[in-house]
Amino acid sequence: MGRQIKGLLYFFITDIRYSLMIFWAILLSILVVSLTFAYFLLSVEDGEFYFGFPFGVYIYCAILGFLTIKESIPFSIKMGATRKNLFVSIGLFFLGLAFAKAVLANTVQSITLLFTESTGIHTFKFLHPVVLLQDTWVNRVIIDTSIMFFLLAFMSIIGLLFFKHGLAGGGIVAGTIAVVLLIGVAQGWIFDFFVNLLPTIGLEFFYQLLVIGIVIYCLSFLFLRRITIVKVK
């Protein structure tokens, strides 16, 4: 069991290595361009440039959670991986990836802030959910890890629905979620929910979000335990 889990983790990591390098190359390039814009804004009164560094990472994790199910599971089963080992390996992979990306992203952010402070580029600002709390490196890592793992777990469930029940099954669930969200936006109760939630958010909220992500991921075992390489269309 241990060797198979190690093998699966190695496969998952090497499988995303290329896309991960491309993603970070693009993200860092955008960061450099953003810093350049912020530098030219120094001559503009009240000029400020905001860069949402973590949000690109969140989107990447959401897409990866879906694609891991679609592409990696059939190959892993063909190579002889058991469903139980797949469940454990994907969970460890998601958790490790979320933590590693949170550490890397926030280390880059801290280095960038040191750079902007030393060069006087005060027009450059980062957007981050940590504005709801005290802005420290540790808090940013905890927040990002929680959000990324939640997105990975949630999108893996969506991916499993599409994999096992085809476009009809997955589409019905995804469509239902989209309709509920649209109704919530139209009726305003989603907006009210976040307005009431934001003042009460503390670091405990993100711990709870991480636990919710773990529970959602545990539910994926109900789909994984009898999954086959046959993808329903």
Mean pLDDT of 140-151: 93
- pLDDT confidence of residue 190: 77
Per-residue pLDDT of 200-217, as tens digits, reads: 778 888 999 999 999 999
Q: What is the phi/psi pair of residue 102, to 5°?
A: -65, -45
pTM: 0.86
For residue 228, give the amino acid letter.
T
Mean pLDDT of 172-178: 82
H, E, C per residue of 154-193 = HHHHHHHHHHHHHHHHHHHHHHHHHHHHHHHHHHCHHHHH
Question: What is the residue extent of each domain of the chain?
Answer: 1-225
226 pLDDT tier (thresholds 50, 70, 90): confident
Of residues 158 and 198, which shows the higher confidence score?
158
